[in-house]
Chains A and B, each alone.
Chain A
Amino acid sequence: LPFFISFALFDLYPTLFSLYISFTKWDGLYPPVFIGLANYTRILHDEVFLIAIYNTFIIGVLSIIPQLFLGLILAAILNDKLLKGKDFFRAIFFVPYIVTASFIGLLAHLLFDWQSGSINMFLVQSGFISEPINWLNDPATARLLNVVVSSWNYFGYYMIILIAGMQGINPEISEAAQVDGASKVQVFWKITLPLLRPVMLFLVVTSLIFGMQVFDIPYVLTDGVGGPEKSTLTLVMLLYRTAFKANDFGYGATIAYSLFVLIFIFSLLSLKIMNRKEA
């Protein structure tokens, strides 16, 4: 029962309250005014919202691919029974995940700074480029930077979950295959990967949900603006800016609910796709 009380108080109530707020016009100063579906009509015609969906997809969802890929390779390597020092490497690769995303964003901000960042200094001095690259001033490189940084932030998490998944696979199966003359690579492709599907499903679905909510890294990298030219303005950043910077809580709540609907649809879709393969 205590759980339900705290759930009702801290989860259910805010959720329902923001649903109510999304039907109102509220600047945080005067009491909310009920305006029906006006906010939802507005969001359907809101170009910036569309841009934000696109950015979120690029940054949040596309970064799942390198993370999954990197996580899988590292998991396969570090799950090898004969490898020495694997615990050490597991810990090292997991460290970025423990550090908060905003700190990593800050670190990347310093590393990739246009004039004084180490990355540009290195590239210029080693002769790869003649002029320092202004990473955060071009939409393409700014998005790329966000993908790279969030991949670096989260690949350790994928790796750990995948290692756990691999250890859950009955070793007798792969041993039997090896006895039959299968190489390690073959075992990985024919046995490990198919048996890992439930774990991958879990990873993809949860990352999809969290990827759609990507906020801290682009926020820190762009000083909270989502620039250049809104190219890194994600949905949650738009929500934050609308509600807490522009003090338009009603519309902010509407963005939150629209995001909720989007996430729900995407999650259903990915579940369907994964399940169909299984069948």
Chain B
Amino acid sequence: MRKLFVYLCLLTLSFSVLAACGSSGNQSPSTTDKTNTTVAEGGENASGTNESASTELKGEINLWSWFDTAQYTVDKFEAKYPGVKVNLTVLPSEEYKTKLLSAMSAGAGVPDVILMDANFVGSMIDHPALEDLTGQVDEVVADQYDYTIAASKDSKGQLKSLSLQATPGGFYYRRDLAKKYIGSDDPKAVSDAISTWPKLMDLGEKIDKESGGKNHALASWVDFNSVQNGSKTVPWVTDGKLTIAPELMEAYDLAKEARARKVEASLIEGPFLFGANAAVFATMQQGTVLFYPSPTWALNYFIVGNAPDTKGQWGIAHGPKSFWGGGIYAGLYSKSKNKAAALEMLKYWTGPEYLRELAKEQQDFSNSKSVMKEMAESAGGNEFIGGQNFFEFFNDSALTIKAAAATKYDQELHTMFINSVKMYVDGKASKDEAIAAFKKDVKNTFPDINVD
């Protein structure tokens, strides 16, 4: 009898591991979602909405987000549509995706407007709970930057979400270091000095030598991955087959060369794109790294926040190529009880009226070609970046970007790919071995993907 009791206890204890299967998702302090701090807000008042329509529209909509600044949008929307009540629930960013996915799969308690971060939009875009927006938001799409639309479609080519922001990237630079090593802090001169990767490498080597290893051109080799990934045009998986984009193949060599010639300070050890960590943030304030290739939102969220004393010390230059990174996507719940109001909110959020206010009040670069052009012409200089025109710079950049369609595998493939480049950079594997290790990882995690 006593023995039986012991076995029973054992069994119950062992069961706790299975029950933990469900909750482990919530305990993990996922640092992977660092890019989530991005706040993209756009808004629009759809062309068809006149004053009477906005007062007639009634109902309640539920909205979940992982960033509390969504309240800003909600307030503005509610002011314009007094009949509509928006129930905003802000969830911790590490739980957001899991909760949303379970709600969508269970078909219960799904928010009417569904927000998704760029790093996981690919894994949800095929979900049947997302409404096909094709034909419903034509006037919004017509004004969006071309590259953002590719990532808003699902694998069948249906428009399942709208990108709230455009997130073109540039090479943010410290003006003091630019003067010292390039001889000028003028954005044009700096852009010229790094117009190709070889030029950037030469400059990086020079910086390392002249400073005795104290200063570097880049914080980490991961920057090459960020830029190359943000400019690739081939999706990770097409028709079930894995393709390593040529841009990413190039990332191996660039990263290796940068490490060998000490172009980068070897700072980021983590697995993220634009995943600056505390050590990188510290250099922003200290001024030991010249370039930070990053998207629009990095100015507000990374630089201003972490190097508040460096106002006016910054500039943005065009690097060897244009790229993008991050952003927030919004879709509609296909079984929403209040679809009309939800659609109106989505249109407001991505339309010119709201985006104009947002750009003026928050200096946010959003996904509207017309409003951003307006801002580029009217906004004037931004003091933090030494009087450069933020909107003009990124508007130029955004128009030249190309992007690949998102796939549901992207987030994991990214992590695995960076690990593979890391092996090569650290000298633990040859390039071929690193690629082989990556393919093996892919095959193991996603047996469905055809890896040649």
Contacts and interface: CB of A to CB of B under 8 A. Distances in A.
A206 B411 contact: no
A216 B279 contact: no
B101 interface: yes
Given A28-B105, A216-B28, A246-B445, A136 B18 contact: no
Given A29-B127, A115-B267, A137-B426, A219 B18 contact: no
Nearest to B418: A225
Interface in A1-39: 10-11, 14-15, 18, 27-30
A80 interface: no
Nearest to A259: B17
B279 A29 contact: no
Interface residues of A, number: 60
A241 B11 CA distance: 26
A76 to B, nearest CB: 28
Given A212-B17, A223-B31, A205 B10 contact: yes
A264 B101 contact: no
B30 A227 contact: no
B29 A220 contact: yes
A13 to B, nearest CB: 10
Interface string A75-112: 00000000000000000000000000010001000100
Interface string B353-380: 0000000000000000000000000000
A277 interface: no
Interface stretch (B19-27, B141-149, B166-174, B190-198): B19-27
Contacts of A15: 15, 18-19
Contacts of A240: 24-25, 28
A264 B10 contact: yes
B423 interface: yes
Interface in B3-55: 6, 10-11, 13-22, 24-25, 27-32
A163 interface: no
B154 to A, nearest CB: 10
A279 B368 CA distance: 79
A92 B176 CA distance: 49
Contacts of B447: 42
Contacts of A264: 10-11, 14
Nearest to A224: B32
A239 interface: yes
Contacts of A257: 18
Q: Which range contains the number of B residues in contact with the other chain?
A: 35 or more
Contact of A11 (B10, B19, B126): B19
A259 B296 CA distance: 44
B412 interface: yes
A184 B105 CA distance: 64
B282 interface: yes
B271 interface: yes
Contacts of A243: 21, 25
A37 to B, nearest CB: 15
A246 B28 contact: no
Interface string B269-297: 11110000011001000000000000000
A247 B105 CA distance: 12
B17 A256 contact: yes
Contacts of A18: 18, 21-22
Given A102-B27, A224-B31, A239-B24, A115 B279 contact: yes
A213 B28 CA distance: 13
Given A28-B101, A29-B127, 20 more contacts: A18-B18, A110-B278, A114-B269, A115-B279, A206-B13, A209-B14, A215-B24, A224-B28, A224-B31, A225-B419, A228-B422, A229-B423, A239-B21, A243-B21, A252-B21, A253-B21, A256-B17, A260-B18, A267-B14, A271-B6
Interface of A: 10-11, 14-15, 18, 27-30, 42, 46-48, 102, 106, 110, 113-116, 134, 136-137, 205-206, 209, 212-213, 215-216, 219-220, 223-225, 227-229, 236, 239-248, 252-253, 256-257, 259-260, 263-264, 267-268, 271
6 tightest A-B CB contacts, nearest first: A256-B21, A223-B270, A29-B127, A244-B25, A246-B412, A102-B29
9 contacts: A11-B15, A27-B408, A42-B447, A209-B13, A225-B271, A236-B17, A244-B97, A246-B445, A264-B11
